[in-house]
Amino acid sequence: MNATVEDLRATIIPKSDQLNAEQLLGGPMTVTVTDVQIGSEDQPVVVNYYGDEGRPFKPCKTMRKVLVHAWGAEGRAWTGRSMTLYNDPAVKFGGEEVGGIRISHMTDIERDIKVSLTTTRGKKAKYEVKRLVSHLAGQLVDLARSPTLADLKDNFEAAYKATRSQADRDQLTAAKDKRKAELQVVPASSATKTYAQLADAILKATSADTASLVLDGARDDLPADQLADLGRVFEGKWKAA
């Protein structure tokens, strides 16, 4: 998250390997999940999100119960879903109110939900999560699925202009950079030097941009006549795409 005059939360981010409740003092933050991993014994669930910059959300046991109740036990299914996190100053540790991260809203639930959770000394309390309708989540999915660099550019520009939140823009930028890196990866087969292998790489490429990278890389590997033939292979497969 980059600091701007409109959003100074980046200036209060503590040095940490995870999202910290203090980071949310300036207000709640909506994040979209990119990955879920198993962590340590004390923090067994690690939730990465767009723009986390190495500070993933490591939910406490109470919030893990909420996540499993709302989204199910299959962590991989959480990818692409969004939730709003906030700092609840009433959260206690060691008998003192120190504040902690709580979830207020979630996408991918049919309606607002209430779940009974165990609090201190074995007591039960109702915890409510509101249904979140997130335009950002859809925009991030569009970026992640952009088939070409041109589509990625168009999707990113449209999404970026549609939001004023710097936190959301940071997530959009992270998603764009991630997809751009994926699209720019040249298939391993294009590293070979023969015409047949390069032609096969173009035909099997997943997009015109990827195939174009193979063709560009072949300019140093093939004589002019074979390069011309390879260009015709590219045009035959991708010119109309």
Can you give the pLDDT at residue 94? 66
Quote the CA–CA distance of 23 and 35 in Å, as a whole number. Answer: 21
User: Can you give the pTM of this predicted structure?
Assistant: 0.60
Over residues 116-137, the mean pLDDT reads 81
Q: Which one has a higher pLDDT value, 45 or 181? A: 45
pLDDT of residue 35: 92
| Cα–Cα distance measured from residue 55 to residue 46, given in angstroms and rounded to the nearest whole number | 10
Element (H, E) at 143: helix 135-144
pLDDT of 1 reads 54
Question: What percent of the chain stands above pLDDT 70?
Answer: 87
Q: What is the distance between the alpha carbons of residues 174 and 44, in angstroms, rounded to a whole number?
A: 25
Beta-carbon count within 10 A of 148 CB: 16
The Cα 76–Cα 37 span in angstroms is: 9
pLDDT bracket for residue 120 (50, 70, 90): low
pLDDT at 203 over 90: no
pLDDT at 13: 65
Angle at 139 between CA 133 and CA 144, to 5 degrees: 130
Q: How confident is the model at residue 2 (pLDDT cuts 50, 70, 90)?
A: low
Statement: residue 191 has pLDDT above 50: no
Burial of 196 (0-12, 13-18, 19+ CB in 10 A): exposed
Q: Which two tokens stand for residue 227?
A: 């390069």
Long-range contacts of 84-92 (CB under 8 A, 24+ apart): 84/28, 84/29, 84/30, 84/31, 84/132, 85/19, 85/24, 85/28, 85/29, 85/30, 85/31, 85/57, 86/24, 86/27, 86/28, 86/29, 87/21, 87/22, 87/24, 87/25, 87/28, 88/21, 91/21, 92/120
Q: What is the pLDDT of residues 39-48, one digit of tens each?
A: 999 999 999 9
Flag whether pLDDT at 190 surpasses 50: no
3-class secondary structure, 112:
coil
What pLDDT was estimated at residue 186?
Answer: 55
Residue 118 above 80 pLDDT? Answer: no
- 50-109 pLDDT, tens per residue? 888 889 999 999 999 999 999 999 999 998 899 999 999 888 776 677 788 999 999 999
DSSP state at residue 152: H
Q: Per-residue pLDDT for 7 more than 70? A: no
Amino acid, res. 50? Y
60: tokens are: 């406490």
In the predicted structure, residue 15 carries a pLDDT above the cut 70: no
